[in-house]
Amino acid sequence: ETGVTQSPTHLIKTRGQQVTLRCSSQSGHNTVSWYQQALGQGPQFIFQYYREEENGRGNFPPRFSGLQFPNYSSELNVNALELDDSALYLCASSLGQGQPYEQYFGPGTRLTVT
């Protein structure tokens, strides 16, 4: 059984640029959630995708957008990067939406915005 994988591991971007982060779900999982973890903080929910549709969103601006593909892999896109976007971005997959499905987390992508 393959776990959740994320790419790239690390990324450095300049303010104003755009970035795409990728996530492959654990085998058999059809739901993906994305979280932002700033330094010294707990993860914050960005949004969730279930069967290719956005299924819930946290308090993040529209420049944070996502996609889920038919194979349930997912992308997180961030436009017009700001310095405060520097964080660890975590992807989590689960089987089904809603409760009480356990979320399996990937190792994260460390984004640095300069």
Partner 1 sequence: AQSVTQLDSQVPVFEEAPVELRCNYSSSVSVYLFWYVQYPNQGLQLLLKYLSGSTLVKGINGFEAEFNKSQTSFHLRKPSVHISDTAEYFCAVSDLGSQGNLIFGKGTKLSVKP
Interface with partner 1 (CB under 8 A): 4, 31, 33, 35, 40-45, 48, 50, 55-56, 58, 90, 92, 94, 97-108
Q: How far is the CB of 7 from partner 1 (least distance, A)?
A: 13
Distance CA 23, CA 65 (A): 14
Q: How far is the CB of 59 from partner 1 (least distance, A)?
A: 10
Bond before 61 cis per omega within 30 degrees? no
Burial class (CB in 10 A: 0-12, 13-18, 19+), 5: middle
Q: How far is the CB of 71 from partner 1 (least distance, A)?
A: 21
Amino acid at 17: Q
Closer to partner 1 at the Cβ: 8 or 16? Answer: 8
Q: How far is the CB of 15 from partner 1 (least distance, A)?
A: 25
Closer to partner 1 at the Cβ: 40 or 70? Answer: 40
Closer to partner 1 at the Cβ: 16 or 98? Answer: 98
The residue behind tokens 């069967």 is: 51
Residue 107 contacts residue 88 (beta carbons within 8 Å): no
